[in-house]
Amino acid sequence: MIIGAGQAAIQAVISLRQMNYQGNIKIIGEEPFLPYQRPPLSKKFLAGQLDKNRLFIRSKNFYQRQEIELLLNSKVASIDPKNQNILTEDGNSLNYSKLLIATGSRARELKVPGINLSGIHYLRNINNVQTIQNQMVAGNKLVIIGAGYIGLEVASVAVKLGLDVTILETESRVMNRVVASEISNFFELIHKRAGVKFKFKQKVEGFAGDTSLKEVLCSGGKRYAADLCIIGIGNLPNQEIAAQSGINYENGILVDEYCQTSEENIFSAGDCTNHPNKLIGMNLRLESVHNAIEQGKTSASSITGTKNAYNQIPWFWSDQYDLKLQIVGLSQGYNELIIRGNPKSKSFSGFYMKNRKILAVDAINKPREFMLAKKLISAGVEIDPEKIADSTTDFKFLAEQALKRGI
Ligand code: FAD
Query: What is the atom index within ligand 1 of the atom nearest the CA of 125?
Result: 36
Give residue 68's pLDDT band: very low, low, confident or very high (50, 70, 90).
very high
Ligand 1 contact, 270 CB (< 6 A):
yes
Query: Which of 133, 105, 107 is closest to 48 using CA atoms?
Result: 133
- Rounded to whole angstroms, what are the CA distances from 210 to 97, 117, 128? 52, 8, 22
Rg of the chain over Cα atoms, rounded to whole angstroms, equals 22
Residue 308 clears pLDDT 70, i.e. is over it: yes
Contact in structure between 63 and 70 (CB atoms under 8 Å): yes
Protein residue closest via CA to atom 41 of ligand 1: 288
Give residue 406's pLDDT band: very low, low, confident or very high (50, 70, 90).
confident
Ligand 1 contact, 235 CB (< 6 A):
no
Give residue 196's pLDDT band: very low, low, confident or very high (50, 70, 90).
very high
Burial 185-197 (b: 16+ CB within 10 A, else e): ebbbebbeeeebe
Ligand 1 contact, 75 CB (< 6 A):
yes
Query: Which of 337, 382, 345, 390 is closest to 362 using CA atoms?
Result: 337
Ligand 1 contact, 317 CB (< 6 A):
yes
Ligand 1 contact, 383 CB (< 6 A):
no
Query: What is the atom index within ligand 1 of the atom nearest the CA of 38?
Result: 43
Contact in structure between 237 and 152 (CB atoms under 8 Å): no
Q: What is the pLDDT of residue 127?
A: 97
SS3 86: strand
Residue 222 clears pLDDT 80, i.e. is over it: yes
**pTM (2 decimals)?**
0.97
Average pLDDT value for the chain: 97
CA of 105 to the centre of ligand 1 (A): 6
Protein residue closest via CA to atom 7 of ligand 1: 4
- What contacts 305, CB < 8 A, 6 or more positions away? none
Ligand 1 contact, 373 CB (< 6 A):
no
Q: What is the pLDDT of residue 282?
A: 94
Residue 235 clears pLDDT 70, i.e. is over it: yes
Protein residue closest via CA to atom 38 of ligand 1: 39
For a pocket test of ligand 1, which of 178, 289, 293, 362 has the largest count of ligand atoms closer than 8 A to its C-beta? 289
Q: What is the pLDDT of residues 109-125, one digit of tens each?
A: 999 999 999 999 999 99
Ligand 1 contact, 123 CB (< 6 A):
yes
Q: Which amino acid is at 268?
A: S
Q: What is the pLDDT of residue 407?
A: 61
For a pocket test of ligand 1, which of 96, 133, 287, 319 has the largest count of ligand atoms closer than 8 A to its C-beta? 287
Residue 198 clears pLDDT 90, i.e. is over it: yes
Average pLDDT over residues 144-173: 98
DSSP H or E segment with residue 304: none
Q: What is the pLDDT of residues 273-283, one digit of tens each?
A: 999 999 999 99
Q: What is the pLDDT of residue 405?
A: 87
CA of 124 to the centre of ligand 1 (A): 8
CB count in 10 Å sphere of residue 98:
20
Residue 103 clears pLDDT 70, i.e. is over it: yes
Q: What is the pLDDT of residues 327-343, one digit of tens each?
A: 999 999 999 999 999 99
CA separation for the pair 50, 46 (Å, rounded): 8
Q: What is the pLDDT of residue 258?
A: 98
Ligand 1 contact, 241 CB (< 6 A):
yes
Q: What is the pLDDT of residue 111?
A: 97
